[in-house]
Chain A
Amino acid sequence: MNVTLSVQISQRLFARLRRRWADYGFMAAFVILILIAASFSDVFFTQRNISNLFRQIVTNGLISLGMLTVILTGGIDLSVGSIVALSAILSSGLQQQVPLPLAILAALMAGGLVGIVNGVLVARFRLAPFIVTLATLGAVRGVVYVYSETPQTPTDPAFRAILGGFIGPVPVAAAIMLICFPLVWVFLNRMAAGRAIVAIGGNQEAVRLAGIDVSRHIILAYVISGFFSATAGILLAARLGIAQPSVGAGYELDAIAACVIGGAVLGGGGGGAIGTFGGVFTLGLIDNLLNMFNVQTYYQQILKGLIILFAVLARRKEQ
């Protein structure tokens, strides 16, 4: 028995060390990035740049929260970019006809609706999440173009002023995103539905046999994802002051990257809101720095790809 125990303990330590090694790696990279930024550029630590950095990570931050929820169930949501476009163009276009709050509500509901479609197809019809959301990625983008082939400009001045504005030095959108992270953390760690979602990714059959409605929780995860993507789309339109029907292409990659860097395991079985925030911030920081040093976007993409590979490699399941 002693041997089993000591074997268990050493395995546990090893697992923890390994996890930490990856975490420390990213934290170190993070600090080094900031140091580089601070020593080579005198604009980095300006209030303007920091506030810019936060505004830039709002979109990926919100999408990543939804993506994380879906990844925890063992799924993936590729339709997030199209949902961003849908809600951006709906919220901008509808406010020409209806009051602003109604336009925003409609945009959010549209995001939730796509989530329901994704969730029902995955949970009730047992289709592969990858295929389902790839299909809705295409279909929703189509809907966006049907609604408007041309960019929509928000007409209500309050839209840009409030959602695209600042409270003191803090961008409103960033504040909304920063509040969402602890909310999701609480959801995943303290609420019954959140725990069920986390468990489903680990062993769906066990959850079913425990008398929990698996389908309902999977659908909920996709709705949450659709909802966060829709929020991201609205805030993006408010910041840019224009909604292109083409906006949001490729956003799913950044979100998946942020989750994986933050410790999420594709296929379910690990990940959390705190780590994801680290992932979002690291990616945002890299973009910010590379922009500051005028590195071409192609190189940025190569670098991002390498980071994702490294993250997956560092966190691959043992054995």
Chain B
Amino acid sequence: MSKCEYLLMQGISKSYDGTQALRGVTFSADLGEVHALVGENGAGKSTLIKILSGAVRHDTGQILLEGKPVSLDSPLHAHRAGIRAVYQEFSLVPHLSVTENILLGQMPRRRFHWWVDWAAAHRQAQAILDELGFTGIDVRTPVSQLSVSYQQMVEIAKAVAGRPRILILDEPSAVLSQEELKRLFALMKQLKAASTLILYISHRLNEVFEVADRITVLKDGEIVGTVRPQDTDEGQLIRMMVGRTLGEFYPKREAKIGGEVLAVRGLSREGAFTDITFSLAHGEILGLFGLVGSGRTQVARSIFGAEPPDAGEIRLEGKLVRLRSPREALQAGIALLTEDRKRDGLVLSCSIRDNISLATLPQVTRWGFLDIGRMDARVQRQVQDLAIRPPQINRLVRQLSGGNQQKVALAKWLLTQAKVLILDEPTRGVDVATKVDIYRIMSDLADQGMGILLISSELPEILGMSDRVLVMREGRLVGEFSRAQASEERLLACAAGLLQ
């Protein structure tokens, strides 16, 4: 059976100076299927697909297409073999136009192949976007001016523009809204019908069950097994991924709701959001739901002083505060885990230790000197609590897998011991086991009296963890639901403006 499959990766091993990312993996997949890859953070999923797309070289093993060995030593080789990838990390050139990004490396040329045919390029890029149903993007805009979800669509368009036989999507859904996700799934179905092989990586198991024809589970650089979605269920899949049964998925405890810790009244910022009023109590987890672009992140940034509001007031434990910078917000006791860890959450070129301790250096400073021992102990504890892997605090954050980077970003804010913790998409790109860990930590923090504002596009997460849910739409608060009232349908309808 596996003999005649289109793609065969045989005995693939790869180590990154010291870390064995893949150990003799043999993996096969066929044209016309959506093959999902799942596994914990750091299991080696991204490494495996990067080897296939020529971005990374493997140490041992071989890759066969249609039974013939091929060498995919560079992205160019992989492109020629019909392999395209949308990577977990963005690979766009920010100051260039949508057109140029989509057609990067394959711009239409004239005369001797030297000259770029701009008119044709814009036409082609537009045609690709139209074909994919990604409307509302002007192909001449620099991609840096697009929102994250539009950027993701440009990434997808870029990969599809190469008319690949094998299309790799590494966690494409993390930054897409429901609407856009639906469009992506429709596109995948179309490509599948045109006998393309799609490799799909995601931590959201419901998605995987929805789109995949087969699911391969990776753990610690090895393949645990390949299953068909109809032969399994989420519980079994999770057992394969983490090697044990997870307890309760949303370890939400009965909240001991105390006095008001944060009160926001009439907060507005030109062009971002209008008249936001809500309050948050000690010990409460307040969910903030909305579609991508509804202004949730902007509200969080304003409360955190990153972009001060034009109007309105913020009270902390009853005291009026004016926060003009993140520094002031931190001193007042507000912390924010930002949604885009690469852009404003982490210093990728620094170590785990440096990143985790960055926001709390004054706390471990004596007479102007850092108390390295104390600092390391604190960092070590976070690394253990969050199961950051590998647990070596000297390792550069750049070398961590995506999910582990997210944990590092979270750990930094957990150390600040803030009164109010704003979490903007805290589990994006995080595996199931760690998700549960993060939820447990959230519950613990709430138990200790912290007020938590949870921003998320994942409905189950909002529903599972919040005591109360606010819904935002087009920069305004349009709904408030108690834990009992909130349901998936209600929140979605409210966020889409179908419910008052």
Task: List chain A positions with a Cβ less than 8 A from chain B.
Answer: 1-8, 10-12, 15, 189-193, 195, 198-199, 202-203, 205-213, 269-270
Assess whether B145 is in contact with A208, with CB atoms less than 8 Å apart. Answer: no
Assess whether B115 is in contact with A199, with CB atoms less than 8 Å apart. Answer: no
Residue in B74, B78, B95, B295 whose Cβ sees the most chain A Cβ within 10 Å: B95
Given contacts A3-B273, A11-B145, A192-B107, contact A199 B96 (CB under 8 A): yes
Asked if B141 CB lies within 8 Å of chain A CBs, one says yes
Which residue in chain B gives the minimum CB-CB distance to A268? B95
Interface of B is mostly: loop
Contacts of A8 in B (CB 8 A): 145-147
Assess whether B95 is in contact with A212, with CB atoms less than 8 Å apart. Answer: no
Interface of A is mostly: helix
Assess whether B93 is in contact with A199, with CB atoms less than 8 Å apart. Answer: yes
Interface string of B100-139 (1 = CB under 8 A from A): 1100111101000111101000000000000000001000
Assess whether A203 is in contact with B94, with CB atoms less than 8 Å apart. Answer: yes
Asked if B313 CB lies within 8 Å of chain A CBs, one says no
Chain B residues bordering chain A, tally (CB within 8 A): 46
Contacts of B113 in A (CB 8 A): 192
Given contacts A3-B293, A3-B475, A11-B145, contact A198 B96 (CB under 8 A): yes
Assess whether A206 is in contact with B92, with CB atoms less than 8 Å apart. Answer: yes
Asked if B436 CB lies within 8 Å of chain A CBs, one says no
Interface string of B339-378 (1 = CB under 8 A from A): 0000000000000000000000000000000000000000
Asked if B65 CB lies within 8 Å of chain A CBs, one says no
Contacts of B76 in A (CB 8 A): 211-213
- A233 to B87, alpha carbons, bound, how many Å? 46
- A301 to B78, alpha carbons, bound, how many Å? 53
Given contacts A7-B272, A8-B146, A212-B104, contact A190 B75 (CB under 8 A): no
Which of B78, B87, B109, B141 sits near A12, CB closer than 8 Å? B141
Asked if B294 CB lies within 8 Å of chain A CBs, one says yes
> Which chain B residues numbered 144 to 195 have a C-beta less than 8 Å away from chain A?
145-147, 158
- A7 to B188, alpha carbons, bound, how many Å? 31
- A220 to B43, alpha carbons, bound, how many Å? 40
Which of B53, B74, B91, B475 sits near A203, CB closer than 8 Å? B91
Q: Nearest-CB distance from A194 to chain B (Å)?
A: 8
Interface string of B367-401 (1 = CB under 8 A from A): 00000000000000000000000000000000000
Which of B87, B114, B145, B272 sits near A3, CB closer than 8 Å? B272
Assess whether A199 is in contact with B118, with CB atoms less than 8 Å apart. Answer: no
Contacts of A12 in B (CB 8 A): 141, 145
Given contacts A3-B272, A192-B114, A192-B116, contact A199 B100 (CB under 8 A): yes
Given contacts A3-B474, A4-B293, A195-B107, contact A15 B91 (CB under 8 A): no
Assess whether A195 is in contact with B116, with CB atoms less than 8 Å apart. Answer: yes
Asked if B271 CB lies within 8 Å of chain A CBs, one says yes
- A213 to B91, alpha carbons, bound, how many Å? 16
Given contacts A3-B272, A3-B273, A199-B104, contact A209 B91 (CB under 8 A): yes
Given contacts A3-B475, A10-B271, A191-B115, contact A209 B55 (CB under 8 A): yes
A-B pairs, top 4 by smallest CB distance, nearest first, are A4-B293, A210-B105, A211-B76, A202-B93
